């Protein structure tokens, strides 16, 4: 059983390729997606593995690492293993960046995403202040950077919108969490657009990055046969949410991390888990850089 649940957000600093393997479609290497919605996600196993690697790179004690994340498989059936005190939920899409005719880009979301986020908060963290749930085709400000209060153009589509106080409250609250150091109203205040569920679903399926990759023979300088492929990425500025579930340590006689509170303190220590870490493929190309933001306890 888990005695603590800590919600957090992930903000993509660079493109992120959390891959789902190869396919025979137009995109050879697609990203992970929810089967029933098509929304981009990062599976809990990918998230846990990346965070474990990030923590290990900080030089923490192996005993503490084993208590928090569990034993690594060795293939030796005789060796006793230790179950992790930490478990992670899949990271799900909360905000998605879309190209705008004005103001470069907008953050988009939809009522279904906010309702689901609130439902999970209600389920896992009872009494946590829920986020405002706006109506579709609304924007966060009369002084919208990405259009005016009546009309916006996202990609090649025109939308008639209205400025809405609930959307403004949602933008302000997320702004304070994601960009606390901003002094000029933050990045969300004048960029948040709430679309219908169907329109949001179309954008997150059709407006991700798809890059052509090649492999060149170092001796001839010619592209090798069969060495052209297309790879999908979650774009920079995407925002996802997840939860970490914390239970009592299961390593008997351990000197470190005596209880669930110790495990939470261990994970939240920035000396242990850096606020920025790498996840997914193409790390040598600068891909997969994520900023981790813990949700404040008071719900501010």
Q: Which of 69-73, 184-188, 209-213 has the highest mean pLDDT?
A: 209-213
What does the pLDDT look like over 234-280, one tens digit per residue?
Answer: 999 999 999 999 999 987 766 788 899 999 999 999 999 999 999 99
Phi, psi of 195 (to 5 degrees): -100, 175
Helix (H, G, I), strand (E, B) or coil at 114: helix
pLDDT at residue 159 is higher than 60 = yes
Residue 81: band (very low, low, confident or very high) from pLDDT cuts 50, 70, 90: confident
For the ranges 93-97, 144-148, 180-184, 186-190, which has the lowest average pLDDT?
180-184
Q: At what angle do helices 260-268 and 62-69 cross, to 10 degrees?
A: 110
pLDDT of residue 300: 55
pLDDT of residue 221: 62
For the ranges 77-86, 102-111, 280-289, which has the lowest average pLDDT?
77-86
Measure the CA–CA gap between 219 and 222, rounded to whole angstroms.
8
pLDDT at residue 1 is higher than 80 = no
pTM score, whole prediction: 0.92
């Amino acid at each position: 059983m888990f005695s603590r649940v800590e919600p957090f957000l992930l903000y993509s600093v660079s493109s992120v390729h959390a891959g789902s393997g190869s396919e025979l479609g137009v995109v050879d290497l697609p990203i992970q997606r929810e089967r029933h919605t098509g929304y981009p996600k990062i599976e809990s196993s990918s998230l846990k593995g990346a965070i474990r690697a990030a923590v290990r790179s900080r030089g923490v004690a192996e005993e503490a690492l084993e208590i928090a994340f569990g034993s690594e498989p060795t293939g030796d059936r005789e060796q006793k293993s230790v179950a992790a005190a930490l478990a992670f939920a899949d990271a799900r899409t909360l905000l998605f960046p879309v190209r705008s005719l004005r103001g470069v880009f907008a953050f988009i979301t939809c009522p279904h995403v906010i309702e689901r986020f609130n439902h999970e908060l209600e389920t896992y963290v009872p009494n946590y202040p829920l986020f405002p749930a706006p109506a579709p085709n609304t924007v966060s400000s009369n002084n919208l950077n990405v259009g005016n209060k009546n009309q916006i153009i996202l990609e090649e589509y025109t939308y008639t919108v209205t400025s809405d106080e609930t959307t403004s409250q949602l933008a302000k609250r997320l702004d304070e969490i994601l960009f606390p150091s901003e002094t000029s109203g933050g990045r969300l205040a004048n960029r948040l657009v709430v679309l219908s569920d169907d329109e949001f679903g179309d954008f997150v399926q059709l407006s991700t990055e798809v890059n052509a990759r090649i492999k060149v023979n170092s001796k001839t300088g010619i592209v090798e046969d069969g060495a052209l492929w297309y790879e999908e990425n979650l774009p920079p500025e995407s925002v996802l949410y997840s939860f970490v579930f914390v239970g009592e340590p299961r390593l008997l006689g351990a000197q470190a991390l005596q209880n669930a509170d110790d495990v939470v303190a261990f994970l939240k220590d920035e000396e242990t888990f850096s606020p920025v870490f790498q996840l997914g493929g193409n790390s040598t190309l600068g891909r997969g850089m994520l900023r981790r933001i813990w949700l404040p306890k008071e719900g501010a």
